[in-house]
Structure 1
Amino acid sequence: MSEHEVPNVNVGDIVKGTVVKVEDKQVLVDIGYKTEGIVPISELSNLHVEETADVVSEGDELTLKIKKVEDDEIILSKRAVEAEEAWEQLEEKFNSQEVFETTVKEVVKGGLVVDVGLRGFIPASLVETYYVEDFSDYLNQPLTVKVADLDREQDRVILSHRAVVEEENEKNKQEILQKLEPGQVIEGTVQRITNFGAFVDVGGIDGLVHISELSHEHVEKTSDVVSEGDKLEVEILSVDRDSERISLSHKNTLPGPWTNIEARLAPGDVVEGTVKRLVNFGAFVELFPGVEGLVHISQIANRHIGTPSEVLETGQTVNVKVIDVNEQDERIALSIKELEQEEEAKEITSYEKDNDQSSFSFGDVIGDKLDKYK
């Protein structure tokens, strides 16, 4: 085309031009026509624009769509070209479920507005996997998203960051499941407390510490031992990769009640305990939480008895003498009989001693009375 020829312009045509002037509410573009084309501020971007200079500068090369031709005035749109390209790209991303990065441009009621070549919206419920009270920290920040819904006729683009997070969590969960093996001891965080135990996060997946595995002692309520947010050392008891269930134990990471028992108890010690169980061959007495010793039926009383219940009852507090301690076998032999025998021996000794000291003659008693008759 010679420099004197003027191109035909029609609504819908795509043209290229150079920005020659940036005004407050519009931009003038040289597209080779006899008059300069006008790009209104509303046609510069699919997002809200405060000032034209925020989007373009003089000398910029732009690809534009002709929106209107009237009396040699040509209205152009940068937004329409970008939207067309963006719709095509978004449809491809939606079909392939591609994860891509965008930037948060606005925080509005109900969610976030992002730039995806056109105006995209992330509802509050699709931002994170957890509740977010204040979204102000997200402004101008990059965010990975997936297209959740597209409706070109309604000009609706719904995106989700939550879907990306959930996908990553699921991937991490599977990786963790493959690594976990029974017997491993790891640290976790208590996520949730129930009446039957605590769910502990062990790196992106929750495992259950049953209430019976929280302590060596009997636990009435889970909350008596742990609270949400607590860091907890746990041992993996079992891993079911198909059902994604992990059984954990905190008890197994704690020193057992029998640990160093020989340093706490020695033969000859006399300690107080509680009768926990009566059996036909004796009585089990709890000395420390989780530590029971056996008083054999022959060691219950300093006389012959037919059954332990003749002398003892469950829940009774008794003093016992330690006969033997075996930490390895977790066995303690106790005796009540020896204490009774020792007590009897003391009483006899005391009686004999008192008898010696109180020896007297008949004369000692009536001697002063005899004096009256002398």
Structure 2
Amino acid sequence: MRVELARTAGFCYGVRRAVQLAEEAAGQGRPCVMLGPIIHNRDEISRLEAMGVGLTASMEEIPEGSAVLIRSHGEGRAVHEALAARGCTVIDATCPNVSRIHGIVSQAEEEGRQVLIIGTPTHPEVAAIAGWCARPVVLEGAEALSNWLDEAPERREMPLTMVSQTTSTRFIWDSCVEKAKKECTNLKIFDTICNATCKRQSEAQALAARSDAVVVIGGRESSNTKRLAELCGALCPMVVWIERAAELEPSTLCRKASIGITAGASTPEWIIKEVYDKMSDENIEIEESFAEMLEKSIKTLHTGEKVTGVVTGITPTEIYVDLGTKHAGYIPVSELTDDPAVKVEDLVKVGDEIETYVMRVNDQEGVVTLSKKRLDTVKSWEDIEQAREERTTVEGVVTEENKGGVVVNIKGVRVFVPASQTGLPRDTPMSQLVKQKVRLRITEVNRARKRVVGSIRAVEAEERAAKAAEVWENIEEGKHYTGTVKSLTSYGAFVDIGGVDGMVHISELSWSRIKHPSEVVSVGDTVDVYVISFDKEKKKISLGMKDRTQNPWEIFTGKYNVGDVANVRIVKLMTFGAFAEIVPGVDGLIHISQIADHRIDKPGDVLSEGQMVDVKIIDIDYEHEKVSLSIRALLEEPAAEDEDVNEE
């Protein structure tokens, strides 16, 4: 006969933590009471009571100032507030996974969202989760969810947040998720099924499938044990569910070639051993000792190994991790990340699952020192090598300027980028890249020498080529683009419209007369431009910036008539007169004879470029869009008025 013990049989990390907290409280010698059984196992609760930890189901029976153990299933907000009001010291043994759900539903209600809890309404864990909401809805499965939505069709439009009881089956949860995704339009889903529960259930199913009989050990009130019995029953012809060894009738297992043993999360090792001893006493042949089976169920750790655990506590110096083994794991803060600016609480939270690297195992003290950043570095090297082979783009932050280039940090790996591959113009200080996030291509990897070389320029060139191809494929006259001014010349500005540079001639930059493009734009400016013309063969594009809908001549003629006075700006001096800007885009000529009321040799004797002067409009040529201006007419008018007064 072969007897096989499931690797995850017995206490899960949440239950183990709760029992340890109770044992520690009992050892302190002060009054301590459990508010309800901290785990679903009557025998273990009796053992704790014998150690001096009391048990009550009523808060009124708790003496004021007592230490109160909150069970692993948790309690609602009202219970915590009531205990605080009674001056009680709370020892919170709530499973970290359950505490995480409390935070999720509380946040959801603050955001005005309706909380949906998938689970058994009468289960203590579900009741506790509901206790952190004002108006929770508890549904047992997809059918209940469908009925709830059908009762009020407008619920499909409501902002919904859906969580699961940690011990629910994956089938129930997945069917609810599928239903909700199909019908609800404003949905947030949080998969809160405990990973340890999933692992326990999947292992139990595999064990049942290869066994002739399965013994399931656990309390009758334990939800997760009930699930194990149901799952095993679907795959194995005989399932025996017991709480203690006394309930086991070994004769029922006679002539079974293979027997599997699993246990619920609230079943202590001493009860599992009790069942083993009962089977041995009845002369059931077991291929290996209980100690060996138990050792297999508790993973042995080795330095350099990758392990996954759950964060159970955070202090300023270290993070405690439950690995599901006999060892206590912790990560020194210095081994969490290489980034000194990152806060620990931003990276990990109690209840998070975390993958780490075993640095050191101390079997005597039962402690394992872990490192996340070393595992991240190992993974990063693998990712870097894969990126080199597959020619994929990676992201990193430039950490320093080095001799001949810059150094980019990619998940803890230093990547050297030569100056010629930074993508910066010649003579541009490379220091301007420091602290910038960049995208690059890995060109060389030598893991033995810890040397990695990359190219920012290669990525930029490929992206620019792709964008340029798209521009040339879709370009047409009149099409508008948002571009960036790349350079200025005396005759215009070159603008990047997405991988392709086009030129805006100085005459197309503004309706006003300008001497240099820098009067309108600067390098780096974001501008709106449109295509005037293009030549795909010569790869040339002529762009415009002037707003064609604003016709300067129409603006001028709508505002001024012959005889009106205008304040104008002198824009150009010629030998025969001066040109003045009346409105942007419309200039008028002040003939040399109209500049002063006396003879002058040249316009510069009286006027200068940029000067503002008042003029009179003496003629408008609408056909040729020309305007004649006069300063002299304004100077002669006061004299004419004085003569009229004298004649009177």
TM-score for the superposition, normalised by structure 2: 0.31
Q: Write 1 or 2 for the structure with the bigger share of helix.
A: 2
Q: Write 1 or 2 for the structure with the bigger share of strand.
A: 1
Q: Which structure is larger by alpha-carbon Rg, 1 or 2?
A: 1
TM-score for the superposition, normalised by structure 1: 0.49
